Amino acid sequence: MSLAPEQVILEFERVAFTYQRDHDFIKDLTFSIANGEFIGLLGANGSGKSTILKLASGILAPSHGSIKLWGKPLQSYKNKDKAKLLCYLPQLLDINIPFKVWELVGMGLYPYDILPEMTVTESLEKRRAFLAMTLLQGAGLVLLDEPLANLDIKYQIEIMRLLRELQDKKHISVIMALHDINMAFQFERVMVIKDGRIAGMGNPEIVLSEDLIKEAFDVSVDMKRHGSVFMK
């Protein structure tokens, strides 16, 4: 798929979502993601990050507002067509599923009648089973729900390098949920979520002020040079 560098691929327009009647969990959310962007979705546990990714993937449907993927309503896509455009890796993975690693990774080929350029072997060399499955799918938009959680720093760096490589070579867009404030400075743009709303969005060096971090995480920090954050 050949895309213009600034083409909008995902657009939320006044999106709301509720788990309980008469109480919106996601509130009036409006933002857009352009082709090739590397976005960090930052917020405390329970702020709404996972729900936003599920809305973006089509797993959940908004109670109000609209979500567009490549200019078309997200819910208008058939599952197989949508899977060619975006892939979603949830935070909680069922490690007891009855598949071998090779079979699991091969599921990334599900949307295709003709195999994409990346082979199963190449994908396996990149990352462990679930991430390899996601990458093999070959979609232009990758939604990742805290893939760095509970990983050693070695593997956190490995994942970030891999995603950067894919962004550079294939111009994919990435939206990654995380709660590590220091890691947020590795992204081109961050979206800070507080109680289902956008508390701040933009370059992390500019957006992640001590006041905003206090608001979003209820913790006081000292901001140092080069994007280092220390607890007070």
Whether residue 193 is contained in a domain is answered as yes
What does the alpha-carbon distance between residue 175 and residue 145 come to, in Å, rounded to a whole number? 8
**What pLDDT, on a 0 to 100 scale, did the predictor assign at position 129?**
57
By the 8 A CB rule, do 179 and 159 touch? no
Domain count, the chain: 1
**What pLDDT, on a 0 to 100 scale, did the predictor assign at position 21?**
72
Whether residue 124 is contained in a domain is answered as no
Beta pairing, strands 173-178 & 189-194: unpaired
What does the alpha-carbon distance between residue 65 and residue 69 come to, in Å, rounded to a whole number? 14
Could you list the residue range(s) of the whole structural domain that residue 227 is in? 8-92+138-231
What does the alpha-carbon distance between residue 222 and residue 232 come to, in Å, rounded to a whole number? 6
What does the alpha-carbon distance between residue 37 and residue 180 come to, in Å, rounded to a whole number? 19
Whether residue 117 is contained in a domain is answered as no
**What pLDDT, on a 0 to 100 scale, did the predictor assign at position 34?**
92
Whether residue 101 is contained in a domain is answered as no
Long-range contacts of 18-21 (CB under 8 A, 24+ apart): 18/63
CATH number of 178's domain:
3.40.50.300
Q: Would you state the structure tokens that stand for residue 45, as one six-digit string?
A: 């546990």
Three-class DSSP category at 94: coil
Whether residue 66 is contained in a domain is answered as yes
Whether residue 198 is contained in a domain is answered as yes
Predicted model pTM: 0.78
Q: What pLDDT tens digit does each residue of the chain (232 aa) get?
A: 444 446 899 999 999 999 877 678 998 999 999 988 999 999 998 999 999 999 998 989 999 999 999 999 999 988 888 877 888 887 755 444 444 444 444 444 445 454 445 554 544 464 455 566 666 666 788 889 888 777 778 778 878 887 887 778 778 889 999 988 888 998 999 999 999 999 999 999 999 998 999 999 888 887 765 555 554 5
Whether residue 104 is contained in a domain is answered as no
**What pLDDT, on a 0 to 100 scale, did the predictor assign at position 66?**
96
Whether residue 60 is contained in a domain is answered as yes
